[in-house]
Amino acid sequence: MPESDPAPADDLLPGIVGRPTLRWRAGERSTVIDRIAEEVPVAMRYNGVPFSVMMATPADLEDFALGFSMSEGLIQHASELLGVEVRPCIEGIELYMRVAHTAPVTSLPPAAARGLPGRSGCGLCGARQLEDVMRMPPPLESPATYPVASLRFALASLGRMQPLNTLAGSTHAAAWVDRNGRIVLVREDVGRHNALDKLAGAMHRQSLSTEAGLVLISSRASYEMVSKAAHAGMAIVAAVSAPTALAIDLAKAAGICLVGFARQDGFNVYAHPERLLGFETDTPLC
């Protein structure tokens, strides 16, 4: 990775670097040190065996290791991840994960490893077979409800809870919001799916339940975002942008309330509107 250019040490957060930039404003040109979000290759290794390389923001990588491992079905329980070592190297970063011999990843054939890097915009890149992609999660057994007023309150505060995006303007956020609309935890990354994996991992590491609350994402709700939320036991997904058709189908099958185009003054509900309290309707979603 290229070395960061000089910038005030207290001005940068992990995952942000300084780069010289020519700025044109009001007909005048100046040279400034701009704040840029990092995007580096992160190699995932399980008991020394390489599995995949993801493009990610190098922050909260222990959370990423756990969340990715669980959402991809590589471990069944958080306790099966015995340790994570973050090893910086010239090409990027390697995550050396020690897992229990009972973890599903230990019984995968070599061909199951992803052959292509997972780019920051793709949560499925490198999957070799259709069944690797279409891993349908079981329906949620007792999905939670959530007050509409609390969602609106959370949307009002999401922007100021994204420090990396405030500095660099190029990261996505995944936030866990309690029933009062309070944002309890936020993780950011250049990849929307990485941010959600980091959030799920952080919640497991901090023993936070995913049952009573919702996940608020600053991106679109694509298939892998709903899939990762379902595997994490998150019953309500609210996205600032649009969902895809496949994400809607998955949300309906998994019992997830899916909200898109979420704004303080309005939103769309694509699946299971009965989970939103204060959003009563007699019109079914067929």
Contact predicate 265/277, CB 8 Å: no
Token output for 198: 């980091």
SS3 237: strand
SS3 85: strand
- Positive/negative CA dihedral, 265, 241, 197, 172: negative
Is 125 noted as a catalytic residue in this protein?
no
3-state helix, strand, coil in the chain (%, to 5): 30, 30, 40
Strands (E) in 130-235, as ranges, are 146-147, 172-177, 183-189, 214-217
Find, among 140, 142, 149, the residue nearest to 178 by Cα.
149
Residue type, 87: R
Catalytic residue among 89, 122, 125, 257: 122
Q: Which residues of 96-113 are buried (b: 16+ CB within 10 A; e: fewer)?
A: bbebeeebebeeeeeeeb
Q: Which residues are designated catalytic? A: 122
